[in-house]
Amino acid sequence: MKVLFVCLGNICRSPLAEAVFNHKISERQLLFKADSCGTGAYHIGHPPDIRTIKTAERNGITINHLARQLHERDFEEFDFIVAMDQSNRTNILRLAGANQSKHKVLMMRDFDPAGNGDVPDPYYGTMIDFQEVYEILDRSMDEFLKSLRS
């Protein structure tokens, strides 16, 4: 089972989602695979935003990723493509075009027991916004993993 987490820049939300996912699957000894990418090209090859790295560290999560852009072949390679917000989802579906894989595209917060909608973009925010993203991802990922296992 391979899961791709997608945001806009691939330096804030989706690399943290990938790291939270990897942390939880290694705790649970599950054999899923994860990657992340952005719909935009601005940060290709860049490490995560320093605030993402600090937020991961503060919460005991290892993060190790270099940004890349979503590619058409991702629709073949991954079983699930998880968008952080509605705008990411629109852009993913646009790239999918007539591809049969549109059913693979999910919204991260459809798994949030505390409420649905977007994982808010923290890029123009503060560390408080990054911690809020972490907490959304942490609780959404528990439900997402339950649904993958069932």
Contact segment (CB under 6 A) with ligand 4NP among 8-16, 58-66, 97-105, 109-117 equals 8-16
**CA 24-26-30 angle, 5° bins:** 95
Query: Which token pair is 104?
Result: 């693979």
In Å, the largest CA–CA distance within the chain is 42
User: How far from 148 is each of 35, 116, 124, 141, CA to CA, in Å?
Assistant: 16, 18, 33, 10
Contact segment (CB under 6 A) with ligand 4NP among 7-15, 17-25, 29-37, 103-111 equals 7-15
Smallest distance, Å, CB 28 to ligand 4NP? 26
Q: Which of 3, 22, 121, 130 binds ligand 4NP (CB under 6 A)?
A: 121
Nearest to ligand 4NP of 41, 146 (CB atom):
41
Q: Which of 3, 4, 11, 70 binds ligand 4NP (CB under 6 A)?
A: 11
Residues belonging to the active site: 7, 13, 121
Interaction of residue 32 with ligand 4NP, rule CB under 6 A: no
Count CA atoms closer than 13 A to 43's CA, side-chain side.
20
Q: Which residues pair with 80 in a beta bridge?
A: 3
Nearest to ligand 4NP of 30, 66 (CB atom):
66
Nearest to ligand 4NP of 48, 80 (CB atom):
48
Report the interface residues with ligand 4NP, using CB under 6 A. 7-13, 38, 42, 121, 123
